[in-house]
Structure 1
């Protein structure tokens, strides 16, 4: 079973599970500020669940690529939408600051 490292926590999941669902199920703060209440609920249109991932996950789908191709996101950043990401192996997930998680510095505390 893959291990997800996020905000100092280690979570086990099944191969192929959706990253957003796993983080929320484990009461981990995926969203910054009011994005916790104002988000697309996992359909891939808002971009507020953007995270950096190191490890094995599925290739970005068209929703992930499309949303990250316009501001405040950028195709040049190595972010992914947690709602469109399947965990395939051990991963480390980093959430950055900003409503969309698009800033270049790490989130230091939970909101």
Structure 2
């Protein structure tokens, strides 16, 4: 980008709080990144042992990178909207991290994750 300052400002940095095991894990990242990418770079996989190797690579078609979003982040992908509506984990590959958010990695899932009643 010629003529533009490409350095990230503090306004571009957001925090993802991940509940997994033990204490919450805080990950700082820049806005607009895929939650799936952010998790994988932090060695926190949204996959099961099987789906870690058999997945679509973040294209939103295999439904194996589900996480529980504990904030009001609005789903944009059709699969993600249905998951949110019916209480299934949402696809981390289809969530752009635009603001601070809190998520939970799904511990017990066969491929995609069990349903959780809406509150």
Q: How many residues align?
A: 99
Q: Which stretch of structure 1 is more off in the superposition, 24-33 or 36-45?
A: 24-33
The CA deviation at 1:78 is 5.2
Measure how far apart 1:75 and its partner are. 4.2
Indicate if the aligned counterparts of 2:51 and 2:111 stay in contact, CA closer than 8 A.
yes
| Secondary structure of residue in 2 paired with 1:47 | coil
How far is 1:59 from its partner? Answer: 3.0
2:15 alignment partner in structure 1:
3
Structure 1 stretches lacking a partner, 5+ long: 69-73, 106-111
1:9: Cα distance to partner? 1.6
| d(CA) in 2 for partners of 1:35, 1:43 | 14
Contact 1:48 1:99 in 2 (8 A): no
Residue number among 99, 113, 118 corresponding to 1:102 in the alignment: 113
Q: Which structure is richer in relative contact order (CA contacts within 8 A, separation 6 or more)?
A: 1
Instruction: Describe the shift of the 1:24–1:64 C-alpha distance in structure 2 as closer, same or farther (beyond 3 A).
Output: same
C-alpha contact 1:3 1:91 (8 A) present in aligned 2: yes
Larger of the two Rg values belongs to structure: 2
* TM-score of the aligned structures, taking structure 1 as reference length: 0.74
**How far 1:76 sits from its partner (Å)?**
0.9
